[in-house]
Amino acid sequence: MIKKKEIFRRDDKVKIINPSVFLRCGYPLNRQMVKDKMTAEQKELIATMVRKFGPNDFESVNEKVLDVMSGVILENERWGGRERSIHTELRPYLINTIGWVRSKRTVKTGSYRSGGVSRDYYSGYDDYDPPYLENEKTHIILSINVNTETGLFGETIEIEQCHVKKVLNQVEEADLQLTGYE
Protein backbone atom coordinates (compact mmCIF):
# COMPACT_ATOMS: atom_id res chain seq x y z
CA MET A 1 0.00 0.00 0.00
CA ILE A 2 1.13 3.52 -0.75
CA LYS A 3 1.45 5.83 2.24
CA LYS A 4 0.02 9.25 1.38
CA LYS A 5 1.88 12.31 2.69
CA GLU A 6 -0.25 14.28 5.13
CA ILE A 7 -1.04 17.81 4.02
CA PHE A 8 -2.56 20.05 6.65
CA ARG A 9 -5.00 22.81 5.79
CA ARG A 10 -6.95 25.39 7.76
CA ASP A 11 -9.72 23.83 9.93
CA ASP A 12 -8.22 20.32 9.72
CA LYS A 13 -8.83 18.33 12.89
CA VAL A 14 -5.56 17.05 14.40
CA LYS A 15 -4.43 15.00 17.38
CA ILE A 16 -1.24 15.92 19.26
CA ILE A 17 1.12 12.93 19.41
CA ASN A 18 4.22 14.63 20.84
CA PRO A 19 3.43 17.65 23.10
CA SER A 20 6.63 19.60 22.29
CA VAL A 21 5.23 23.10 21.78
CA PHE A 22 7.15 25.44 19.46
CA LEU A 23 8.53 28.54 21.22
CA ARG A 24 10.89 30.03 18.66
CA CYS A 25 13.34 29.24 15.90
CA GLY A 26 16.71 30.89 16.04
CA TYR A 27 20.13 31.01 17.58
CA PRO A 28 20.76 29.86 21.19
CA LEU A 29 20.62 33.33 22.78
CA ASN A 30 18.00 36.06 22.55
CA ARG A 31 17.57 39.50 24.14
CA GLN A 32 15.39 38.28 27.00
CA MET A 33 17.92 35.59 27.98
CA VAL A 34 20.71 38.18 28.09
CA LYS A 35 18.56 40.55 30.18
CA ASP A 36 17.82 37.72 32.61
CA LYS A 37 21.56 36.99 32.94
CA MET A 38 22.41 40.61 33.77
CA THR A 39 23.27 41.04 37.43
CA ALA A 40 21.34 43.36 39.71
CA GLU A 41 24.46 45.54 39.94
CA GLN A 42 24.65 45.93 36.15
CA LYS A 43 20.95 46.82 35.95
CA GLU A 44 21.33 49.35 38.78
CA LEU A 45 24.31 51.01 37.02
CA ILE A 46 22.21 51.42 33.88
CA ALA A 47 19.27 52.77 35.91
CA THR A 48 21.56 55.28 37.67
CA MET A 49 22.88 56.50 34.31
CA VAL A 50 19.33 56.91 32.95
CA ARG A 51 18.19 58.76 36.10
CA LYS A 52 21.02 61.31 35.66
CA PHE A 53 19.50 62.35 32.33
CA GLY A 54 16.13 62.85 34.07
CA PRO A 55 13.66 61.55 31.48
CA ASN A 56 9.93 61.96 32.14
CA ASP A 57 9.22 58.29 31.41
CA PHE A 58 12.02 56.58 33.37
CA GLU A 59 10.73 52.97 33.01
CA SER A 60 10.35 53.20 29.24
CA VAL A 61 13.78 54.77 28.70
CA ASN A 62 15.44 52.34 31.11
CA GLU A 63 13.89 49.38 29.26
CA LYS A 64 15.11 50.74 25.90
CA VAL A 65 18.66 51.15 27.23
CA LEU A 66 18.59 47.60 28.66
CA ASP A 67 17.39 46.38 25.26
CA VAL A 68 20.24 48.14 23.44
CA MET A 69 22.81 46.83 25.94
CA SER A 70 21.51 43.28 25.55
CA GLY A 71 21.86 43.70 21.76
CA VAL A 72 25.50 44.74 22.19
CA ILE A 73 26.16 41.70 24.39
CA LEU A 74 24.42 39.43 21.84
CA GLU A 75 26.63 40.71 19.03
CA ASN A 76 29.75 40.25 21.16
CA GLU A 77 28.73 36.66 21.99
CA ARG A 78 27.70 36.05 18.34
CA TRP A 79 24.12 35.14 19.37
CA GLY A 80 25.40 32.13 21.32
CA GLY A 81 26.67 30.18 18.33
CA ARG A 82 26.21 29.45 14.65
CA GLU A 83 23.51 26.78 15.01
CA ARG A 84 19.97 27.94 14.16
CA SER A 85 17.54 25.50 15.77
CA ILE A 86 13.97 25.02 16.98
CA HIS A 87 13.37 25.71 20.67
CA THR A 88 10.44 23.87 22.24
CA GLU A 89 8.75 23.36 25.59
CA LEU A 90 7.26 20.04 26.68
CA ARG A 91 3.62 20.27 27.84
CA PRO A 92 2.55 16.74 28.81
CA TYR A 93 -1.09 17.74 29.43
CA LEU A 94 -1.49 18.24 25.66
CA ILE A 95 -0.79 14.62 24.66
CA ASN A 96 -3.68 13.06 22.70
CA THR A 97 -5.51 16.40 22.69
CA ILE A 98 -7.64 17.29 19.67
CA GLY A 99 -7.21 20.66 17.99
CA TRP A 100 -7.96 22.55 14.78
CA VAL A 101 -5.35 24.01 12.43
CA ARG A 102 -5.65 27.79 12.14
CA SER A 103 -2.55 28.55 10.03
CA LYS A 104 0.83 27.20 9.05
CA ARG A 105 4.25 28.64 8.30
CA THR A 106 7.76 27.41 7.62
CA VAL A 107 11.01 27.98 9.49
CA LYS A 108 14.57 27.07 8.52
CA THR A 109 17.27 25.47 10.67
CA GLY A 110 20.94 24.85 9.97
CA SER A 111 24.44 26.18 10.63
CA TYR A 112 25.18 29.79 9.70
CA ARG A 113 28.05 30.28 7.29
CA SER A 114 29.20 33.81 6.64
CA GLY A 115 29.66 35.03 3.13
CA GLY A 116 32.76 36.59 1.76
CA VAL A 117 34.32 38.60 -1.00
CA SER A 118 37.23 37.35 -3.03
CA ARG A 119 39.06 39.22 -5.76
CA ASP A 120 39.93 37.72 -9.09
CA TYR A 121 43.25 39.39 -9.86
CA TYR A 122 43.23 38.26 -13.47
CA SER A 123 39.93 39.96 -14.40
CA GLY A 124 39.88 42.52 -11.58
CA TYR A 125 36.32 41.70 -10.50
CA ASP A 126 35.13 40.93 -7.01
CA ASP A 127 33.32 37.67 -6.40
CA TYR A 128 30.71 37.87 -3.64
CA ASP A 129 29.40 34.80 -1.79
CA PRO A 130 26.31 35.64 0.33
CA PRO A 131 25.83 34.15 3.82
CA TYR A 132 23.77 30.95 3.96
CA LEU A 133 22.59 28.12 6.20
CA GLU A 134 24.60 24.92 5.83
CA ASN A 135 22.60 21.68 6.21
CA GLU A 136 19.44 23.73 5.87
CA LYS A 137 16.18 22.01 6.81
CA THR A 138 12.66 23.37 6.42
CA HIS A 139 10.14 22.70 9.18
CA ILE A 140 6.39 23.31 8.97
CA ILE A 141 4.90 24.95 12.07
CA LEU A 142 1.15 24.69 12.62
CA SER A 143 -0.87 27.15 14.70
CA ILE A 144 -3.53 25.07 16.44
CA ASN A 145 -6.54 25.91 18.61
CA VAL A 146 -6.69 23.31 21.36
CA ASN A 147 -9.60 22.71 23.72
CA THR A 148 -8.06 22.44 27.17
CA GLU A 149 -9.09 23.36 30.68
CA THR A 150 -6.65 26.31 30.70
CA GLY A 151 -8.80 28.87 28.91
CA LEU A 152 -12.36 29.93 28.15
CA PHE A 153 -12.05 29.52 24.37
CA GLY A 154 -9.18 27.05 24.41
CA GLU A 155 -5.51 27.65 23.88
CA THR A 156 -3.69 28.56 20.68
CA ILE A 157 -0.31 26.87 20.37
CA GLU A 158 2.30 26.44 17.68
CA ILE A 159 3.65 22.94 17.10
CA GLU A 160 5.79 21.26 14.47
CA GLN A 161 3.79 19.33 11.88
CA CYS A 162 5.61 16.05 12.62
CA HIS A 163 4.21 16.12 16.20
CA VAL A 164 0.55 15.90 15.15
CA LYS A 165 -1.62 13.44 13.25
CA LYS A 166 -4.66 14.27 11.15
CA VAL A 167 -7.95 12.97 12.53
CA LEU A 168 -10.24 11.76 9.76
CA ASN A 169 -13.98 11.31 9.91
CA GLN A 170 -15.61 8.08 8.73
CA VAL A 171 -16.42 9.37 5.21
CA GLU A 172 -12.78 10.35 4.55
CA GLU A 173 -11.51 6.99 5.88
CA ALA A 174 -13.88 5.10 3.54
CA ASP A 175 -12.69 7.19 0.55
CA LEU A 176 -9.05 6.38 1.36
CA GLN A 177 -9.75 2.65 1.57
CA LEU A 178 -11.51 2.73 -1.82
CA THR A 179 -8.56 4.50 -3.50
CA GLY A 180 -5.91 2.21 -1.94
CA TYR A 181 -4.28 4.85 0.27
CA GLU A 182 -3.94 4.55 4.02
pLDDT-based confidence at residue 44 (cuts at 50, 70, 90): confident
Q: Give the start-to-end residue ranges of the domains of the chain.
A: 1-27+84-182, 29-80
Alpha carbon separation from 55 to 35, 43, 64, 93, 109 (Å, rounded): 22, 17, 12, 46, 42
CATH number of 1-27+84-182: 2.30.30
User: For residues 65 and 119, is the Cβ–Cβ distance under 8 A?
Assistant: no
> How much is the average pLDDT of 22-31?
88
In the predicted model, what is the mean pLDDT of the chain? 83
User: pTM of this prediction?
Assistant: 0.71
